[in-house]
């Protein structure tokens, strides 16, 4: 028998929402202490709404810092209250252009990978950090391709690296699996996603060619080098796809259509 849950005044953001019947929404929240939580928001949309209800519907958008109260059984809770976080804080992230679509990618990734009803405080902090960085990118867009790459790719790679680690899917960026020696900066390696890097290529096994300097930089979270960003992007995309069961992310495809290959 599923036990009843009461979650009062919890910090949250919205990852996704969709219509339910004529006047309600199903909302996928990301909550600091409870991970991914789904809830029904009853009677929040439709014609004939009061002014207060009309104002409330604006809260059901992503990239806002919220306080929510939920109750019910774990599979689908019911929303009791939703409001912006304390007035002394910046309550939402000002995201435009590429930053906005990168943020939608992050939301979709979390929607697919986050555990439900599990303490995710470190991931919640990581989420806020990457959205802060993307909000800064909105104000600093640069026409130079290299600067654009570093501007957007660095915070995304940092987020992906740390998300995989916090979920228990961390990558081996330290040891050569064929010799058990440390990665060397001037060597080239073949990365097997299940075991890690090796300086020896294994025929018939899917591997990614990657430089030792890239692996060291990724491990040290030094993401300002163009080659590290290029090779790291391929490695992290491969790793993430494995945990998504190779089911494509809609946000990746949308970004490619709009901006080409700058971020995928």
Taking 50 as the pLDDT cut, the residues of the chain under it are: 262-264
> φ and ψ at 161, to 5 degrees?
-55, -50
Q: What is the CATH number of domain 4-84?
A: 2.40.50.140
Residue 78 Rama label (left phi>0; alpha psi -120 to 50; beta): beta
| DSSP codes of every residue in 182-197 | EP-TT-EEEEETTTEE
Residue 55's pLDDT is 66
SS3 176: strand
Which has the closest alpha carbon to 264: 62, 136, 254, 69? 254
* 29 token code pair: 């929240």
Residue 35, CA atoms < 13 Å, CB-side half-sphere: 15
Residue 86's pLDDT is 78
Which tens digits make up the pLDDT trace of 105-137? 999 999 999 999 999 999 999 999 999 999 988
In this structure, whether the domain defined by 97-259 belongs to CATH 2.40.110.10 is answered with: no
Residue 264's pLDDT is 44
Residue 173's pLDDT is 97
Burial annotation 205-229 (CB, 10 A radius, 16+ → b, else e): eebbebbbbbbbbbeeeebeeeebb
Parse the chain into domains and list their residue ranges: 4-84, 97-259
């Amino acid at each position: 028998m599923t036990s009843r849950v009461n979650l009062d005044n919890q910090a949250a953001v919205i990852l996704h929402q969709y219509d339910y019947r004529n006047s309600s929404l199903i909302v996928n929240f990301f909550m600091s202490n409870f991970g991914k939580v789904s809830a029904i928001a009853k009677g929040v949309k439709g014609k004939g709404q009061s002014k207060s209800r009309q104002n409330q519907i604006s809260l059901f958008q992503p990239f806002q810092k919220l306080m929510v109260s939920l109750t019910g059984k774990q599979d689908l809770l019911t929303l009791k209250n939703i409001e912006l976080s304390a007035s002394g804080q910046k309550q939402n992230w000002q995201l435009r252009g590429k930053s906005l679509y990168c943020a939608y990618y992050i939301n979709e990734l979390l929607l697919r990978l986050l555990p439900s009803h599990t303490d995710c405080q470190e991931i919640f902090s990581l989420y806020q950090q990457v959205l802060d960085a993307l909000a800064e990118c909105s104000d600093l867009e640069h026409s130079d391709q290299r600067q654009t790459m570093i501007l957007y790719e660095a915070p995304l790679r940092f987020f992906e690296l740390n998300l995989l680690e916090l979920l228990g899917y961390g990558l081996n960026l330290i040891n050569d699996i064929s010799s058990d020696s440390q990665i060397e900066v001037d060597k080239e390696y073949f990365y097997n996603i299940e075991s890690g890097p090796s300086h020896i290529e294994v025929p018939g096994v899917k591997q990614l060619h990657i430089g030792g300097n890239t692996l060291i930089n990724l491990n040290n979270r030094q993401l300002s080098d163009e080659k590290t960003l290029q090779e790291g992007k391929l490695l992290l995309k491969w790793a993430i796809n494995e945990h998504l069961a190779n089911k494509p992310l809609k946000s990746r495809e949308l970004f490619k259509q709009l901006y080409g290959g700058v971020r995928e």
